[in-house]
Amino acid sequence: MKQPRAWQRMLSGRRLDLLDPTAVDIEIADIAHGLAFVARWNGQTRGDYAYSVAEHSLLVETLFGRIAPNAPVKWRLAALLHDAPEYVIGDMISPVKAAVGSGYGDLDARLTAAIHIRFGLPAAIPASVKRQIKRADRISAWMEATRIAGFSAAEANKFFGKPDAALMEGLDIRLRPPVEVRAEFTARHADLLARLD
C-alpha cells in the first residue's frame, strides 16, 4: 500500500516533511509568506483584510518586549516565531485543537523544534520564557477578540483573562494586505537575527 505524502513543497523549493521536519528545510521567506496568508479566528473578523498570524506574531513580540523588557534578543525572536508552525499546518481555533487531540500538539512541537534550531534557538525554550510569551499571546488574543472578532470585554476576560491596560497602551490591531505584513515580518526577523548573541 502506498504511503500518503507527508511533505509539502514550499515556494522556496524546499520540501518540508511534516512528520520529520529538519532545520535544513526551513526558510524564513516560506514562514513569512505562509503566516501572512493564514487568517486568525478562521477569518471571522471585521475589516477588509483577514487578520493574519504574521500580524498577530508581530504584536505578540511587541507585547513580550513590554512584559520582559530585559529579555535577551533570542527570546524576542522566539516570541516572533511562537506560531511559526502555522505556516504549514494552519491556525486551528482552540475548540478544533481540543477536538483533534494530542496529534496537533505533537506535530506543532516537532515543527517548532526544527524552526528554533534553524534560527539558532534551543529546540525547547525555558518554561519561564514560554509562560511570558503565552501571556503576550493571551493579551493579543484579548485585543483581537474585542476589537475585530465581536467579543465583549467581559466575554474576552472570561476566555483570555483581563489584561493589564498599560501593556496595551498605544497598540492597535492592524489589518493590512498580506504583502505588507509579510515584508514587516521578514524585516523584523532579520533585525532580531542580526542582534542575536
Q: What is the pLDDT of residues 157-193, one digit of tens each?
A: 999 999 999 999 999 999 999 999 999 999 999 999 9
**How far is CA 161 from each of CA 62, 109, 153, 156, rounded to the nearest angstrom?**
19, 25, 10, 7
Which residues, 6+ apart, have CB-to-CB distance to 61 below 8 Å? 76, 79, 80, 136, 188
Tell me the sheet residues that pair with 15.
9
C-alpha cell at 171: 497598540
Q: What is the pLDDT of residues 136-161, one digit of tens each?
A: 999 999 999 999 999 999 999 999 99
- Report helix angle 127-147 to 53-67, nearest 10: 120
| Distance (Å, whole) CA 31 – CA 143 | 24
Cβ neighbour number for residue 125 with a 10 Å cutoff: 18
Q: What is the pLDDT of residues 126-135, one digit of tens each?
A: 999 999 999 9
**How far is CA 3 from each of CA 6, 7, 21, 22, rounded to the nearest angstrom?**
8, 11, 17, 20
**Full-model pTM:** 0.94
